[in-house]
Structure 1
Amino acid sequence: MSVDGWHTLLVLGGIRSGKSEFAESLVADAPTVRYVATAPAGDPEDTEWATRLAAHRARRPGSWTTEETAADPGRLAEVITTAGPNETLIVDDLGGWVTVLLDPAHQPADDTATIAELATAVRSSEARLVLVSPEVGLSLVPSTPLGRAFTDALGATNRAVADACDAVALVVAGQAAWLKPAAPAHAAHTVPPAGTSPEAEPSRAATPGTDPGAAAGLGAARAPEAMPAEATSGRAVPADFGAGDVTLPEVLTPAAAPVPGPATPEAPGTGDWAAPTMALPMIATGLVIQPGMELPMPDDYTGPQAVDRLATLDVPGAGLGVLEQVVGFAAATQGTSIPRPWDAVRVLLIHGDHAGGASAGAVPGESARRARQARAGRGALARLAAENRADLQIVEAPTSAPIEYGPALPADEVEAALRYGWRLAEQAADAGVRLLVLAACGAGAEAAAAAVLAATAGAEPPTVLGRVVTEQGEIDDAAWMVRCAAVRDALHRTRRSPREAKDILAELGGGDIALATGVLLGATARRLPVLLDGPVGTAAAMVSRDLAGQARHWCLLPDHGGRPGVRLAADVLGLTPLVDLRLDLGEGATALAALPLLRSALTLAATLPVHPSLGGDDSDSGDRNSDGTGGDDSGNSDRTGYGTGPDEPDFTEPDFTEPEPAGPGPTTIGSDEPVSPGRRAD
């Protein structure tokens, strides 16, 4: 949605004002939309009216569904009341609904009661709802009783629905004026020009002087704000976490230092982290993240087409090997059989610690130091991001409570974390990011991920929890046993608890995994692929499949890193790791290290020509025969291109000669002289 803080919206406008196009543009980014058509079919001989209806239908995206309510005026209130919280409805329009309401076929009827019933349904709607209605109150009073009855009923309907809606907009000559509430300064809106689809036009106009991301719906730049931590039940919660007008962290662009120098400590709240941030409107204004959400899937056809096309390319060997998976994944997520290399990449580094036994063996404050280091452009993750020309965004998650004693995070904070992560993914998509890399750093994160994996896949904690390695490179088995005990106790404590996705996040996962889950769901909703790397990302993928099964199809796992939990999660999710680098530079670093290789595969797939033998053009292959093959007129095809130039050797393959056998026996048989029994041929 495009305006801060609304859940239900009434769009008013005159005839041909652009009100329908404006309403459709507001829900163009929704994964699924139910279009509720209220207009009656009309006279079959009225071709102009039929043309109008056909134009409305042709403008709707193919993913939208249409529901007709013209047969019964009471049906509209029923549709709105029964719509679920994860649905988006657009009603077009209330003028047609009033026409049906006043139809003699539905009389006698209590029009006032029916209008009040509709307003009650709008006020209690759980779905995101946009209603379109004509504004005829500015014209002359009709001269006929039926015309006056229509304007009176429509005026009463508009007033009742406007009172029930969170926001009201009036569209005049294609320009939207916000009546309730007043639009924020950065939320100017325009109607897509006639003849354009909602997908082709942004629903928000760019504000001069703002960041380019603001034009795509990120909002205006805010004044610098500090992000102090508040103590809540022993957890550190970032300020404004999960609030309606949420402050998202700044996107940094690390630059590789040409000469390494001595590290200087950075005080919290200074440097890049205190720079101005961007504000996003609430996503979906009331969207409820719940199991069974219908989110987009990658294209079913372009992925296999891209892989099949690789067999036709002019490559000297057998092809790209396992990197064919990268080409198929990119093609499916981009919706084209010739995918582009990922040019705009953003790394989301989620920092969130876990208290209790899950963090046994971790150095206090080490994860916070890593996060500050990344903000300053230092450390492995920031340097790899700079080498890949990727943005870096550091996200603070609430500190999770000890899972062996109680829930890691309250249910309301889990909901806030999911929404916060969704907003981060939306921010990236609006800024033109083509690929997300999900990274994490936090004490106890691997143990929490192991607990989530044990709860979702039925694994034993010791089999999915990696060994604890100290800063000196030594294995600390005592700390590992403490972590295993904490996970075991947490699973025993929650043995009778529900195993729903949000319950697992609250009891075992904590803030970082909940936030990562929201990122995956938001990225799926915006068709944004994600590189997973490490236990937090794969644990989030395990949880997200129970909220939206489509999420795992937008994830790619470059490497398992030798971590047993990641191996098992990859097997359950159907994700095949591409390489086995076994880097241990922190979650996210391996994905960035492998990214140039993945980009190289996409570059080759997009730029290599078709092999000449399959009809491709090769200017270096010499003269072509009349049948299109290379080589001389004898029919020999020169696949390599050698031997065709005046200064190049001729590599014409000689005739095959059977080798002489070693040992006694016949060697050659004369063709003219028969061979007698017992006589050896000369």
Structure 2
Amino acid sequence: MAPKEPLSFLETTFRSIYPQDFDFRQQAENRLKQLTMPLWAMGDLMDLAVDLAGMTGSLQPPVSRKKVVVMVGDHGVAAEGVSQYPAEVTTQMVHNIARGGAAISVLADKAGADVLVVDIGGRDDFTELAEAGKILSKKIGRGTANMSYGPAMTRTHAVMAVEAGIEVAQSLADEVDIFATGEMGIGNTTPSTAIAAVFTGKKVSDLTGRGTGLDDAGLKHKIAVIEKALARNTPNAKEGLDVLAKVGGFEIGGIAGLILGAASRRKPVVVDGFISAAGAMIACSLEPFVRDYIICAHRSAEPGHLALLEKLQQRPLLDLNLRLGEGTGAALAMPLVDGAAALLTDMATFAEAGVAQA
């Protein structure tokens, strides 16, 4: 009998991902039903508490050590004028995050979360930031190719992007209780909309938003660019890596990998907005059980985000009309995760408190 070929890194990761622990879900649900309040009075937070128990396999789910991972990638399609901002703003904003001046910097700090910036596919180098320990380099390429003329990247590079995200999650897993996804990449609502169109089957015109603030003419042009990219590349919805390679982005692949890697270590992942949801969609297409470890932070103002959330069967914790990205929505949702865990671990039951039940 011929020897078996060794499993790939991706396949090994997939085989490490299991559904939530049903027994701990049941124990958590039983305890929550006995808390000193009307039955399930804290609604979605109690559902989240059950999820946390199932994800972590514990009635004391650890959530104190938080890490927002901001994946960085530039996009060739930005040359088509699909964003209000020029491509060099990606680099400028990476430096802003590293200095602590960005929205994600201040919101993560308030949530008690650390921020890690990972260069997956930025156009420029960040040598000084890397040497100062303010950015982790996992660079695969200097931005994607222009997907309106051909694939955004090779399949090999798509695999490398996902693997890089897995490596980040697994290298941090021993020191992080809960991950959050973030991103920085001018033009990235365009590939995210393309990904949403592929997986949901909805019309591009129904999914495309204004991104950084396009006017009506800019929105119409953005729709045409996405439609052209999909027609030229014909991504296969049954092949997540094919979709990522043809109309995705390096940071989207990195987000997918981060989610996969976190799930392989039974770590919850708070998924931010539209671009992060596109990464989550890629991750779930590769290994469906990864859905059990996703906490959807919020519903953004981008129409494609709602379509992806419905496809992923996820209910957002917040709806604040956000459209920034960076991981900001995930940072805002972190205190809700803390609250859900606290209900399970700190609140008294009727018996413990000596309170009569109805």
Match of 2:101 in 1: 378
**Does the C-alpha gap of structure 1 residues 300 and 413 become closer, same or farther in structure 2, counting only changes over 3 Å?**
same
Would you say the 8 A contact 1:359–1:443 is kept in 2?
Answer: no
Corresponding residue to 2:305 among 566, 587, 611: 566
The reply to whether residue 350 of structure 1 matches residue 86 of structure 2 is no
What percent identity do the matched residue pairs reach?
Answer: 27
Match of 1:448 in 2: 191
1:390-405 to 2 correspondence within 5 Å? 390-398=113-121, 399-405=143-149
The answer for unaligned runs of 5 or more in structure 2 is 122-142
Match of 1:215 in 2: none
The reply to whether residue 480 of structure 1 matches residue 219 of structure 2 is yes
Corresponding residue to 1:417 among 161, 168, 175: 161
Q: Secondary structure at the match of 2:319?
A: coil
The reply to whether residue 510 of structure 1 matches residue 275 of structure 2 is no
The answer for unaligned runs of 5 or more in structure 1 is 1-77, 84-125, 129-285, 622-628, 630-636, 640-682
Corresponding residue to 1:406 among 150, 153, 174: 150
**Does the C-alpha gap of structure 1 residues 451 and 385 become closer, same or farther in structure 2, counting only changes over 3 Å?**
same
Cα distance per residue 1:305-324 (max 9 Å; x no partner): 32332221113786211211
Match of 1:600 in 2: 339
In structure 1, C-alpha distance between the alignment counterparts of 2:45 and 2:155, rounded to whole Å: 41
Match of 2:132 in 1: none
Q: CA shift at 1:468, angstroms?
A: 3.7
Q: Which has the larger radius of gyration?
A: 1
Per the normalisation by structure 2, the TM-score is 0.86
Q: CA shift at 1:496, angstroms?
A: 7.5
Cα distance per residue 1:153-206 (max 9 Å; x no partner): xxxxxxxxxxxxxxxxxxxxxxxxxxxxxxxxxxxxxxxxxxxxxxxxxxxxxx
Would you say the 8 A contact 1:294–1:548 is kept in 2?
Answer: no
Match of 1:326 in 2: 48
**Does the C-alpha gap of structure 1 residues 335 and 534 become closer, same or farther in structure 2, counting only changes over 3 Å?**
same
Corresponding residue to 1:616 among 328, 352, 358: 352
1:227-306 to 2 correspondence within 5 Å? 287-289=9-11, 293=15, 295-306=17-28
In structure 1, C-alpha distance between the alignment counterparts of 2:273 and 2:118, rounded to whole Å: 17
Would you say the 8 A contact 1:293–1:547 is kept in 2?
Answer: no
Corresponding residue to 1:429 among 173, 187, 190: 173
Would you say the 8 A contact 2:252–2:275 is kept in 1?
Answer: yes
The reply to whether residue 532 of structure 1 matches residue 276 of structure 2 is no
- Match for 2:154: what amino acid? P
Cα distance per residue 1:297-347 (max 9 Å; x no partner): 2212322432332221113786211211210111111112x3335100111
In structure 2, C-alpha distance between the alignment counterparts of 1:497 and 1:571, rounded to whole Å: 20
1:64-143 to 2 correspondence within 5 Å? 78=1, 81=3, 83=4, 126-127=5-6
1:661-680 to 2 correspondence within 5 Å? none
Q: CA shift at 1:518, angstroms?
A: 1.4
Would you say the 8 A contact 1:374–1:381 is kept in 2?
Answer: yes
Q: CA shift at 1:424, angstroms?
A: 0.3
Would you say the 8 A contact 1:404–1:489 is kept in 2?
Answer: yes
Q: CA shift at 1:509, angstroms?
A: 0.7
Q: CA shift at 1:469, angstroms?
A: 4.1
Per the normalisation by structure 1, the TM-score is 0.46
Would you say the 8 A contact 1:404–1:486 is kept in 2?
Answer: yes
**Does the C-alpha gap of structure 1 residues 359 and 515 become closer, same or farther in structure 2, counting only changes over 3 Å?**
farther
Higher RCO by CA contacts (8 Å cutoff, separation 6 or greater) = 2
Would you say the 8 A contact 1:533–1:557 is kept in 2?
Answer: yes
Q: Secondary structure at the match of 2:281?
A: helix
Q: CA shift at 1:292, angstroms?
A: 7.2
Q: Secondary structure at the match of 1:369?
A: helix
Cα distance per residue 1:238-276 (max 9 Å; x no partner): xxxxxxxxxxxxxxxxxxxxxxxxxxxxxxxxxxxxxxx
Cα distance per residue 1:192-251 (max 9 Å; x no partner): xxxxxxxxxxxxxxxxxxxxxxxxxxxxxxxxxxxxxxxxxxxxxxxxxxxxxxxxxxxx
Instruction: Please tell me the root mean square deviation across aligned C-alpha atoms, in Å.
Output: 2.4
Match of 2:136 in 1: none
**Structure 1: which 4+ aligned runs deviate by more than 4 Å?**
288-294, 496-499
Would you say the 8 A contact 1:468–1:477 is kept in 2?
Answer: no
Q: CA shift at 1:404, angstroms?
A: 0.8
Would you say the 8 A contact 1:293–1:548 is kept in 2?
Answer: no
Between Structure 1 and Structure 2, the one with more helix by share is 2
In structure 1, C-alpha distance between the alignment counterparts of 2:75 and 2:321, rounded to whole Å: 25
> Which range moves more in the overlay, 301-310 or 514-523?
301-310
**Does the C-alpha gap of structure 1 residues 596 and 541 become closer, same or farther in structure 2, counting only changes over 3 Å?**
same
Q: CA shift at 1:379, angstroms?
A: 1.5
- Match for 1:558: what amino acid? A
In structure 1, C-alpha distance between the alignment counterparts of 2:145 and 2:237, rounded to whole Å: 19
The reply to whether residue 310 of structure 1 matches residue 39 of structure 2 is no
- Match for 1:402: what amino acid? N
In structure 2, C-alpha distance between the alignment counterparts of 1:420 and 1:127, rounded to whole Å: 20
The reply to whether residue 464 of structure 1 matches residue 212 of structure 2 is no
Would you say the 8 A contact 1:435–1:530 is kept in 2?
Answer: yes
In structure 2, C-alpha distance between the alignment counterparts of 1:429 and 1:292, rounded to whole Å: 16
Cα distance per residue 1:499-518 (max 9 Å; x no partner): 51111111111211111111
- Match for 1:401: what amino acid? A
Q: CA shift at 1:551, angstroms?
A: 1.0
Cα distance per residue 1:71-115 (max 9 Å; x no partner): xxxxxxx3x71x3xxxxxxxxxxxxxxxxxxxxxxxxxxxxxxxx
**Does the C-alpha gap of structure 1 residues 481 and 521 become closer, same or farther in structure 2, counting only changes over 3 Å?**
same
In structure 1, C-alpha distance between the alignment counterparts of 2:119 and 2:150, rounded to whole Å: 22
Would you say the 8 A contact 1:559–1:581 is kept in 2?
Answer: yes
**Does the C-alpha gap of structure 1 residues 341 and 295 become closer, same or farther in structure 2, counting only changes over 3 Å?**
closer
